[in-house]
Amino acid sequence: MIRAAGQCPRTYPSPSKSQRCLHERLHHQPPRVGGRKVKADRILRALLWITLGTGIAVAIAYRGRFDVAALEGWIRGAGVGAPLLFMAVYALGTVLFLPGSVLTLAGGALFGPVLGTFYNLTGATLGATLAFLLARYLGAAWVERKAGARLQRLNRGVEAEGWRFVAFVRLVPLFPFNLLNYAFGLTRIRLGTYVLASYLFMLPGSVAYTYLGYAGREAVTGGAGLVRKALLALALLALVAFLPRLIGRLRKRPMLPVQALKARLAAGEEVLVLDVRTAADYAGDSGHIPGARNLPLEGLPQHITELGEFLETPIAVVCSTDKRSIQAERLLAGQGFADVHVVEGGMTAWARAGLAVVHGAASGEGGRRGRGSPAGSAESD
């Protein structure tokens, strides 16, 4: 455009803040304030990490000097605010890996069996929720390193069973309580589901240990009915000890579809395939899964010690269908094997899916399946 001589150049008003933001969005640039928010978020995460790490380190270093008597005296000195102070201490102790059983016993001694149970359970749930949220917000790689294969089992359990799995691990102590709270934060379970299931299914253990703390205080102070209270405390502890076996029987068996097993083997996951058919069936016409280990169900109780190295390893139990596998899974779970699944449909389903089998007594018996193993790469023709 040509301007006439002496004509002043045209001026434009400077763009407003909203116009600048619109221009940045149209050109795929985030608003300038976004960078400051990201930086502030990183600083906050770093501060949380430092605070949490320091607190856990100090708590672990001094947990041997934890003085329950001093704690009880401090709580009693709080007067009407004692319950709130106790629940806050319990929640903080849960986050910092202090022994929850000691705090629960103290709650029973301080507040009695009824209110003590409520305060213990509420404090434990608050702490479990806080640990869950910290792990979810921080994306705690430290928890992943500590939990290891256990975190994979948690993820699979949550995906398969949801709140039922939370209920199961709260009733059956397969995982350390304090670490479990953080590990659940790295799964996809919803916060409300986690909190409600935790509160309800931590109740039996809380009742038993709270009453034990109450009975212990009564024994020290010479309260009436000591024998009755002691017997009731022992009965509650026996019930809590029996619960894992009862839940294990009532719980739906963890089934593993054949295609899921094949995918895990093909991906090189470490899985022990345990075939519990007779030796004749294992080597017979139907064949067996490549690399599977044969240990017949009839001899499993006598030879279960041979599987000691697989206590923390995923085990897939297979038979002709799945009836014998269910019995084997129940037996293994009762002996402390942490991750046992029944191959759904057994060898019948495996053959129906057209997956590869081996005939005869394979030389790969007795092994653990890892990366690059033949079982991991077996394909059907």
CB 113 within 8 A of CB 214: yes
**pLDDT tens profile 116-160:** 999 999 999 999 999 999 888 776 555 566 556 667 777 777 877
**pLDDT tens profile 260-290:** 999 999 999 999 999 999 999 999 988 999 9
Strands lying side by side in the sheet with 255-256: 255-256, 340-343, 315-318, 272-275, 293-294
Find, among 355, 362, 370, the residue nearest to 294 by Cα. 362
**pLDDT tens profile 322-353:** 889 988 988 887 777 878 899 999 999 999 99
Query: How many Cβ atoms from other residues are within 10 Å of residue 374's Cβ?
Result: 15
Averaged pLDDT of the chain: 78
pLDDT at 373: 38
Distance separating alpha carbons of residues 314 and 254, to the nearest angstrom: 12
**pLDDT tens profile 166-201:** 888 888 766 678 888 988 988 889 999 999 999 999
What are φ and ψ of residue 270, in 5° steps?
-80, 105
Query: How many Cβ atoms from other residues are within 10 Å of residue 160's Cβ?
Result: 14
Please report the DSSP string for 245-301 in residue order: HHHHHHSPP-EE-HHHHHHHHHTT--BEEEE-S-HHHHTSTT-B-TTPEE--GGGHH
CB 241 within 8 A of CB 252: no
Catalytic residue among 110, 319, 333, 357: 319
| Residue range 292-310: mean pLDDT, rounded | 90
pTM: 0.59
Find, among 334, 377, 380, the residue nearest to 355 by Cα. 380
Task: Give the residue carrying structure tokens 């320091």.
Answer: 54
What are φ and ψ of residue 5, in 5° steps?
-60, 135
Q: How big is the chain, counted in residues?
A: 381
Which runs of consecutive H residues, i.e. helices, occur in the chain?
A: 17-26, 32-61, 68-76, 82-95, 100-111, 113-138, 141-147, 149-161, 163-171, 177-184, 191-201, 203-221, 226-250, 258-266, 279-282, 300-303, 323-334, 346-352, 374-377
Confidence of residue 100 (pLDDT cuts 50, 70, 90): confident
319 is catalytic: yes
CATH, range 255-377 = 3.40.250.10
Domains of the chain: which residue ranges? 62-207, 255-377
Confidence of residue 233 (pLDDT cuts 50, 70, 90): confident
Interior/surface letters 91-115, b for 16+ CB within 10 angstroms, e for the rest: bbbbbbbbebebbbbbbbbbbbbee
pLDDT at 14 over 80: no
